[in-house]
Structure 1
Amino acid sequence: MKTIGLFSLLTVSVFACDLTKIKDGMASCDSLGSADAKCNDRACHKALHYLVDEDTIKCYVSLGLGPASDLNKYVDLDKYCHGE
């Protein structure tokens, strides 16, 4: 009989709806000039991965910050940065 640890079978995803993280992420990209500068900036690039996440977009809307379409510019920028 083969024993498999319980923890190897479970994947836990924890998401916290964080107003500050959203606003800081947006600011880290918005403060830069060109799309290339935004892609090359570590803080902005990291923020993009957070800002384009479906849970973050839902959070943005649920906090009353605006419609999901407000984040389209970050989705487009993320695609540009990744050559899509």
Structure 2
Amino acid sequence: MKIIGLLSLLTVSVFACDLTKIKDGMASCDSLGSADAKCNDRACHKALHYLVDEDTIKCYVSLGLGPASDLNKYVDLDKYCHDE
């Protein structure tokens, strides 16, 4: 039981609110043209997984970058890339 609790604590504490990572992730996708190009680009695809994460969205808002809805285009793109 103590190990599971410790692992849960470690999992939660790994996330860091990172302005640079958010902006770089957005830029890696925004610099590409089509949705297919974005899906096929390794850096953009990796960034999407970060940008659609609930903790990242909360971080975006808490940093005063804008409302959570600003990231909807990345959520939609992630769904498109994964045929959802």
TM-score range for the pair, normalised by the shorter chain length: 0.7 to 0.9
Aligned to 2:67: 67
How much identity, in percent, do the aligned residues show?
A: 96
Runs ≥4 residues deviating over 2 A: 1-13
Q: TM-score, normalised by structure 1?
A: 0.87
Q: 1:31 to 1:62 in 2, by over 3 A?
A: same
In the alignment of these two chains, the number of paired residues is: 84
TM-score by structure 2 length?
A: 0.87
How large is the RMSD of aligned CA atoms in angstroms?
3.2
Unaligned runs of 5+ in 2: none
Larger Rg: 1
Query: Separation in 2 of the partners of 1:3 and 1:73?
Result: 39
Which string of whole-angstrom CA distances, capped at 9 and with x for unpartnered residues, describes residues 27-62 of structure 1? 000000000000000000000000000000000000
Question: CA separation in 2, counterparts of 1:3 and 1:14?
Answer: 17
